[in-house]
Amino acid sequence: GDSVTQMEGPVTLSEEAFLTINCTYTATGYPSLFWYVQYPGEGLQLLLKATKADDKGSNKGFEATYRKETTSFHLEKGSVQVSDSAVYFCALSDRGANSKLTFGKGITLSVRP
Amino acid sequence: GAVVSQHPSWVICKSGTSVKIECRSLDFQATTMFWYRQFPKQSLMLMATSNEGSKATYEQGVEKDKFLINHASLTLSTLTVTSAHPEDSSFYICSARALAASSYNEQFFGPGTRLTVL
């Protein structure tokens, strides 16, 4: 079945540091890829998405590129802020009418002032 | 837009009792709602998919008689944990997919409900 693998956490960075969170996937079809963010005490929010190979999703300074050849969707940000502290989930969805999301384990990011 | 609410946000109950959790789409109609369970420091595990007006589809290993799901309208789905036991303690999250689904079938998530069974 489909699966998503995220790098182990937690990750602690200083403000303005560069961020990379790795995500790889296995899928039988041609999935859409997502990054979700969960701020403390809140529900998951869609951060960015990509629906086909070589697409780059971007939002709030975060970027991720759909790499079909390496089955990866790594999340990057050039300069993190304290307000980016949250849990980040990589996910994929197949394309059927009853498509479901498959999540990675999530990684906690803490940004120090 | 696209707000999903859950009620209650947390609940503590005694072993053997039943607990109902509501999931509402506040500003859109949802043909499909999903129920997830999240264990500490782990990912979200899909429990069931709920389509308005029809029976829910449960994932393998999820007891349908234990976790009753009702999707009575396009804005409301409920999850009832029947005869709850301490091992049912968890964080339950719902999501909703809009009636006019986009090409990537985006789901909007509720804030979750923390269930503690004593």
- For residue A50, pLDDT beyond 70: yes
Which residue ranges of chain B lie beneath pLDDT 50? none
Largest CA distance in chain A: 45
pLDDT of residue A97: 62
pLDDT of residue A95: 74
- For residue A83, pLDDT beyond 60: yes
pLDDT of residue B105: 65
Q: Which residues of B touch A105 (CB under 8 A)?
A: 41-43
Q: How far apart are CA A14 and CA A58, in angstroms?
A: 22
pLDDT of residue B27: 86
Residue with tokens 């949802």, as numbered in its chain? B30
Q: How far apart are CA B35 and CA B42, in angstroms?
A: 16
Question: Which of A5-14, A40-49, B46-55, B93-102 has maximum average pLDDT?
Answer: A5-14
Q: What is the least distance, in Å, from the CA of A8 to any CA of chain B? A: 11
Beta bridge partners of A83: none
Residue range A14-19: average pLDDT?
Answer: 97
Q: Which residues of A touch B42 (CB under 8 A)?
A: 105-106
Q: What is the least distance, in Å, from the CA of B70 to any CA of chain A? A: 18
First to last CA, chain A: 41
- For residue A98, pLDDT beyond 70: no
Beta-carbon separation of B104 and A49 below 8 A: yes
pLDDT of residue B72: 83
Beta-carbon separation of A36 and B109 below 8 A: yes
